[in-house]
C-alpha cells in the first residue's frame, strides 16, 4: 500500500458520506496502524478515514496523557454511532485537513458512542472533555462534514478561498520542481 497522506481542504474526498465497514480483517488492522502513524506525525489526537482519502467509517483516536504523551489511549472505532448526547460546551478546534487554523464552535459536553473494535466486538464509550469533543469532530468527518461547517457562511467562504489558493500554489510549486 502506498504511504498514506493527509487530504487537505478543499477536497471532494472530505465531503463524501462514508460507507459502513462490512468485514474486519488484517488489512483493516494494518490501515489503522498506518492512520495512527500519520496522526502522530502531525501531532493529532484523532483521524478519520476520509482524511487519508478512504470512504469507510473508521476513526482512530489517541487522547494524550496529562504530560502530553501519546500511545496509551489508542482507540479504533469502526462504524461508530452516537447513542446519547448531553449539554453544551464551547470548544476550540483544529483539524489536520485544515492546517494552521483553529476556531471556537459549540459542541455537546458529554456523548456516548457505540462502535466495533478491531476484534469486531461492540464497545460503548461514555465521554466528556477532550474525548467527547474529539468523538464529535471525527464522527462528523464520516458524514463529509468539517468543523468549519459550524462557522458562518461568510467565514467558511473566506477559508475556502484562502485554502484553495494555498493548494494551487502548492500544486504549481510541485509542477515547477518536476520540470526543473
Catalytic annotation, residues: 138
Cell of 135: 468523538
Supply the minimum distance, in Å, between the C-beta of residue 97 and Ni ion: 5
Return d(Cα 52, Cα 59) in angstroms, integer: 11
Return d(Cα 127, Cα 159) in angstroms, integer: 30
Residue number, 116 or 133, with CB nearest to Ni ion: 133
Residue number, 101 or 125, with CB nearest to Ni ion: 101
Return d(Cα 129, Cα 91) in angstroms, integer: 10
133 binds Ni ion (CB under 5 A): no
Residue number, 95 or 159, with CB nearest to Ni ion: 95
Looking at residue 17, the DSSP 8-state letter turns out to be P
Hey, which residues does 47 pair with through a beta bridge? 60
Supply the minimum distance, in Å, between the C-beta of residue 116 and Ni ion: 21
Residue number, 95 or 132, with CB nearest to Ni ion: 95
47 to 106, contacts with Ni ion by CB under 5 A? 95
Supply the minimum distance, in Å, between the C-beta of residue 47 and Ni ion: 7
Return d(Cα 114, Cα 166) in angstroms, integer: 38
Supply the minimum distance, in Å, between the C-beta of residue 98 and Ni ion: 7
Return d(Cα 122, Cα 20) in angstroms, integer: 14
Residue nearest to Ni ion (CB): 95
Return d(Cα 162, Cα 140) in angstroms, integer: 22
Interacting residue ranges for Ni ion, rule: CB under 5 A:
95
Amino acid at each position: 500500500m502506498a504511504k498514506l497522506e493527509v487530504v487537505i481542504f478543499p477536497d471532494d474526498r472530505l465531503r463524501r458520506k462514508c460507507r459502513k465497514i462490512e468485514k474486519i480483517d488484517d488489512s483493516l488492522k494494518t490501515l489503522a496502524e498506518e492512520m495512527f502513524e500519520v496522526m502522530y506525525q502531525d501531532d493529532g489526537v484523532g483521524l478519520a478515514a476520509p482524511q487519508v482519502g478512504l470512504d469507510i467509517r473508521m476513526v482512530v483516536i489517541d487522547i494524550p496523557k496529562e504530560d502530553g504523551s501519546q500511545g496509551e489511549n489508542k482507540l479504533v472505532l469502526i462504524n461508530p454511532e452516537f447513542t446519547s448526547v448531553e449539554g453544551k460546551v464551547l470548544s476550540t478546534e483544529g483539524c489536520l485537513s485544515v492546517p494552521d487554523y483553529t476556531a471556537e464552535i459549540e459542541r455537546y459536553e458529554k456523548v456516548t458512542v457505540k462502535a466495533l473494535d478491531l476484534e469486531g466486538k461492540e464497545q460503548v464509550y461514555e465521554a466528556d472533555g477532550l474525548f467527547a469533543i474529539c468523538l464529535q469532530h471525527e464522527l462528523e468527518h464520516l458524514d463529509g462534514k468539517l468543523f468549519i461547517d459550524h462557522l458562518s457562511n461568510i467565514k467558511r467562504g473566506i477559508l475556502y478561498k484562502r485554502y484553495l489558493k494555498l493548494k494551487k500554489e502548492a500544486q504549481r510549486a510541485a509542477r515547477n520542481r518536476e520540470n526543473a
